[in-house]
Copies of this chain bind each other. A is one copy, B any other.
Amino acid sequence: MDRALSIGRLAERSGTNPPTIRYYEQIGLLKRPDRREGGHRTYGQTDLTRLTFIRRCREFGFPIEQVRSLVDLLENEDRSCTDARDLARDNLTLVQAKLEALRALETNLIQMVNDCEAVCVGGPGPNCVILEDLSEPSRSKCQGC
Protein backbone atom coordinates (compact mmCIF):
# COMPACT_ATOMS: atom_id res chain seq x y z
CA MET A 1 0.00 0.00 0.00
CA ASP A 2 2.62 2.44 1.17
CA ARG A 3 4.52 3.15 -2.02
CA ALA A 4 6.92 5.92 -1.09
CA LEU A 5 9.38 4.78 1.52
CA SER A 6 11.97 6.98 3.18
CA ILE A 7 15.46 5.57 3.52
CA GLY A 8 14.77 4.93 7.19
CA ARG A 9 11.64 2.89 6.50
CA LEU A 10 13.35 1.01 3.72
CA ALA A 11 16.19 0.22 6.11
CA GLU A 12 13.74 -1.05 8.71
CA ARG A 13 11.83 -3.26 6.33
CA SER A 14 14.89 -4.71 4.68
CA GLY A 15 16.96 -5.20 7.80
CA THR A 16 19.66 -2.76 6.76
CA ASN A 17 21.00 0.56 8.00
CA PRO A 18 20.54 3.78 6.09
CA PRO A 19 24.28 4.31 5.60
CA THR A 20 24.54 0.83 4.13
CA ILE A 21 21.81 1.65 1.64
CA ARG A 22 23.64 4.82 0.60
CA TYR A 23 26.78 2.77 0.30
CA TYR A 24 25.08 0.24 -1.97
CA GLU A 25 23.86 3.09 -4.09
CA GLN A 26 27.35 4.52 -4.24
CA ILE A 27 28.88 1.29 -5.49
CA GLY A 28 26.09 0.84 -8.01
CA LEU A 29 24.42 -2.15 -6.42
CA LEU A 30 21.19 -0.20 -5.98
CA LYS A 31 20.09 2.24 -8.61
CA ARG A 32 19.78 5.90 -7.74
CA PRO A 33 16.30 6.51 -6.31
CA ASP A 34 13.90 9.37 -6.89
CA ARG A 35 14.19 12.35 -4.61
CA ARG A 36 11.68 14.53 -2.91
CA GLU A 37 11.81 18.30 -3.31
CA GLY A 38 14.09 18.68 -0.32
CA GLY A 39 16.50 16.04 -1.60
CA HIS A 40 15.41 13.08 0.51
CA ARG A 41 15.48 9.70 -1.21
CA THR A 42 12.21 7.86 -1.83
CA TYR A 43 11.85 4.19 -2.57
CA GLY A 44 9.15 1.87 -3.85
CA GLN A 45 8.28 -1.79 -3.60
CA THR A 46 10.78 -2.79 -6.29
CA ASP A 47 13.61 -1.26 -4.32
CA LEU A 48 12.51 -3.12 -1.21
CA THR A 49 12.49 -6.41 -3.11
CA ARG A 50 15.88 -5.83 -4.60
CA LEU A 51 17.47 -4.71 -1.36
CA THR A 52 16.00 -7.69 0.46
CA PHE A 53 17.52 -9.94 -2.15
CA ILE A 54 20.89 -8.25 -1.69
CA ARG A 55 20.77 -8.60 2.08
CA ARG A 56 19.86 -12.26 1.81
CA CYS A 57 22.81 -12.83 -0.51
CA ARG A 58 25.12 -11.08 1.95
CA GLU A 59 23.74 -13.12 4.83
CA PHE A 60 24.60 -16.16 2.78
CA GLY A 61 28.15 -14.98 2.60
CA PHE A 62 28.25 -13.99 -1.06
CA PRO A 63 30.81 -11.23 -1.54
CA ILE A 64 29.56 -8.01 -3.12
CA GLU A 65 30.87 -8.82 -6.59
CA GLN A 66 28.99 -12.12 -6.60
CA VAL A 67 25.88 -10.37 -5.37
CA ARG A 68 26.23 -8.11 -8.38
CA SER A 69 26.21 -11.19 -10.63
CA LEU A 70 23.21 -12.65 -8.85
CA VAL A 71 21.26 -9.42 -9.15
CA ASP A 72 22.11 -9.36 -12.83
CA LEU A 73 20.95 -12.97 -13.13
CA LEU A 74 17.71 -12.12 -11.41
CA GLU A 75 16.95 -9.28 -13.77
CA ASN A 76 18.21 -10.68 -17.02
CA GLU A 77 16.01 -13.14 -18.91
CA ASP A 78 18.88 -14.11 -21.18
CA ARG A 79 21.10 -15.61 -18.54
CA SER A 80 20.85 -19.24 -17.52
CA CYS A 81 20.38 -20.33 -13.95
CA THR A 82 23.37 -22.64 -14.25
CA ASP A 83 25.39 -19.57 -13.30
CA ALA A 84 23.41 -19.18 -10.11
CA ARG A 85 23.98 -22.81 -9.24
CA ASP A 86 27.70 -22.47 -9.87
CA LEU A 87 27.95 -19.42 -7.65
CA ALA A 88 26.02 -21.20 -4.92
CA ARG A 89 28.24 -24.24 -5.27
CA ASP A 90 31.46 -22.22 -5.04
CA ASN A 91 30.09 -20.53 -1.99
CA LEU A 92 29.20 -23.87 -0.45
CA THR A 93 32.75 -25.09 -0.89
CA LEU A 94 34.07 -22.03 0.91
CA VAL A 95 31.58 -22.43 3.72
CA GLN A 96 32.54 -26.06 4.17
CA ALA A 97 36.23 -25.21 4.34
CA LYS A 98 35.52 -22.59 6.97
CA LEU A 99 33.40 -25.07 8.91
CA GLU A 100 36.20 -27.59 9.00
CA ALA A 101 38.70 -25.02 10.27
CA LEU A 102 36.28 -23.77 12.90
CA ARG A 103 35.53 -27.27 14.14
CA ALA A 104 39.24 -27.92 14.65
CA LEU A 105 39.50 -24.59 16.43
CA GLU A 106 36.60 -25.45 18.70
CA THR A 107 38.16 -28.78 19.68
CA ASN A 108 41.45 -27.10 20.50
CA LEU A 109 39.89 -24.34 22.54
CA ILE A 110 37.75 -26.75 24.55
CA GLN A 111 40.84 -28.80 25.28
CA MET A 112 42.76 -25.71 26.36
CA VAL A 113 40.07 -24.49 28.72
CA ASN A 114 39.59 -27.95 30.25
CA ASP A 115 43.29 -28.56 30.68
CA CYS A 116 43.73 -25.22 32.31
CA GLU A 117 40.94 -25.91 34.75
CA ALA A 118 42.30 -29.34 35.58
CA VAL A 119 45.92 -28.36 35.88
CA CYS A 120 46.82 -24.80 36.52
CA VAL A 121 43.91 -22.45 37.00
CA GLY A 122 44.75 -19.64 39.38
CA GLY A 123 48.47 -20.17 39.04
CA PRO A 124 50.92 -17.65 37.62
CA GLY A 125 50.29 -16.59 34.03
CA PRO A 126 53.47 -17.77 32.37
CA ASN A 127 52.97 -21.38 33.50
CA CYS A 128 49.44 -21.73 32.15
CA VAL A 129 48.92 -24.71 29.84
CA ILE A 130 46.93 -22.51 27.47
CA LEU A 131 49.93 -20.30 26.92
CA GLU A 132 52.12 -23.37 26.50
CA ASP A 133 49.76 -24.68 23.87
CA LEU A 134 49.78 -21.38 22.07
CA SER A 135 53.57 -21.27 22.13
CA GLU A 136 53.92 -24.47 20.15
CA PRO A 137 54.31 -24.04 16.43
CA SER A 138 51.21 -24.83 14.46
CA ARG A 139 50.55 -28.47 13.74
CA SER A 140 47.81 -27.79 11.28
CA LYS A 141 50.11 -27.90 8.26
CA CYS A 142 51.97 -31.17 8.81
CA GLN A 143 49.90 -33.52 10.88
CA GLY A 144 52.44 -36.29 10.58
CA CYS A 145 55.62 -34.65 11.81
Q: Measuring CB to CB, which residues of chain A are less than 8 angstroms from any residue of chain B?
A: 15, 49, 52-53, 55-57, 59-61, 70, 73-85, 88-89, 91-92, 95-96, 98-99, 102-103, 105-106, 108-110, 112-113, 116-117, 120-128, 130-131, 134-138, 140-141
Q: Are A52 and B137 touching (Cβ within 8 A)?
A: yes
Q: Are A81 and B122 touching (Cβ within 8 A)?
A: yes
Chain B residue numbers with a CB within 8 Å of A61 are 105
Q: Are A76 and B125 touching (Cβ within 8 A)?
A: yes
Q: Are A135 and B56 touching (Cβ within 8 A)?
A: yes
Q: Are B124 and A77 touching (Cβ within 8 A)?
A: yes
Known contacts A53-B135, A73-B131, A85-B116; A106/B121 CB under 8 A: no
